Every structure is written in structure tokens, then in C-alpha cells.
Amino acid sequence: EPEVTQTPSHQVTQMGQEVILRCVPISNHLYFYWYRQILGQKVEFLVSFYNNEISEKSEIFDDQFSVERPDGSNFTLKIRSTKLEDSAMYFCASSEALAGGYEQYFGPGTRLTVT
Amino acid sequence: RKEVEQDPGPFNVPEGATVAFNCTYSNSASQSFFWYRQDCRKEPKLLMSVYSSGNEDGRFTAQLNRASQYISLLIRDSKLSDSATYLCVVNIESSYKLIFGSGTRLLVRP
């Protein structure tokens, strides 16, 4: 069964450093997403991406965040200057289309720890 | 008012029990509804979409009441492996994002 994959599984970084989180969505999916979950809190939407551009973003997704699809398979989330409050689990998701009830499938996540 | 509201639990039930989870949503423009399950420190996994007519998948039955803005999930014959957090999730018309509830924790004991 096709799966969304993410690397690394755990990233530790110092405050102020840049991090890039990587995702490989399911191969025939066209819509890509990033969510985050701070420990003990609910899953929160960050951004959606379609046809090489951002289709929607949340208030959390400020200028320090960016997304990119550098090639035909990878989808990345960059945090330019990490803050302590960026520590969270970051999930990538993908969906085949906007039709069909928007079923989104999630990767295993990257745990980001900012020290 | 929270966009998606769930009883946090935990629900502690014996194996074989039937358990029901409820969820309410605040935005009447919500158009798609899902139940996901999440194991500790793992990703949300799609359990089932919820359709207006109600739907069943094995031991799991989901119901939607648009008039009351209410979604439910019934689990029959609970297994130990059903222990997890169950997330009520909503998508709003013309939006790409999923809106998650905080989840209801289920513990199934032997």
C-alpha cells in the first residue's frame, strides 16, 4: 500500500538555525499539506500546496516558513530561523484530488526539537 | 466556541464492549467529515469518512447529523488494539485544510 514518507524522523536544532523537513507524498497524489502537532495539543494545519504553489495557509505559516517541491517526488518545509515554540511533530499529508471527500493521508512525522 | 469539539475522555472499557464517541462542529459550511485514529506519538490514520446516510466498516459505524452539526462513531466488540485517540475531523467548503478536534482517548482493558 502506498505511503507518505518523511525524513528525518527526529531533528534537533538550536534556536535561530534553519531546518528543512522532507516528505515524499504518495506518487499519484496532487495535493500536499503540512500540519504540526505540539505535544499534548491538537493537529493544526500549516499549508496546502497544489500545482507548484501555495493554495492555502494558516496564521501559523508566517514569513519564516516556506514550502517547495524541488523535484517530481519531494515536498519540503523550511523553517528559516527556528524558535523554541517551533518544537513539535510535523506531519506531511497528501491527497489524490479535491474530490472524494478530501481524504488526506499522513506521513509518520518529523519530531523537531529546538533547543 | 471550538471549531470541532470532542469529549477528551479517557473512555476505559473492557474488551468486547460497545463504545460511542460524539463530536460537534461549529461551522455550518462544513462539507466533509472523517474519523482518524492516532496512536501515541504517531501520525493520524484515516479510519473512515462519514457520509450523510451513515456508513459502516466492520465493527465501526459513523453517523452524521447536519441539522445538529453532530458526528458520532460507534465501535462494537472492542479489541485491545482499538486503544488509541480518536480524532473527529472536518473540512469546510472551499478550503483545503482539515480541522481537527482534540481527540477522545480510548483504553480497552483485558
pLDDT the model gives residue B94: 82
Residues of chain A with pLDDT under 50: 100
Confidence of residue B30 (pLDDT cuts 50, 70, 90): confident
**Best residue in A106, A110, A113 to probe B by mutation, most B CBs within 10 Å?**
A106
Report the alpha-carbon angle A45-B19-A107, nearest 5.
30
Q: Which residues from chain B sit within 8 angstroms of residue A56, using beta carbons?
A: 95-97
pLDDT the model gives residue B52: 86
pLDDT the model gives residue A98: 65
Whether A25 and chain B come into contact, CB under 8 Å, resolves to: no
**Which of B95, B96, B100 has its CB closest to that of A43?**
B100
Separation of alpha carbons B48 and B57, rounded Å: 8
In terms of Cα–Cα distance, which of A32, A5, A15 is closest to A84? Answer: A15
Taken in order A54, A62, A44, A12, is the CA torsion positive or negative?
positive
The mean pLDDT value of chain B amounts to 94
Mean pLDDT over B18-33 rounds to 92
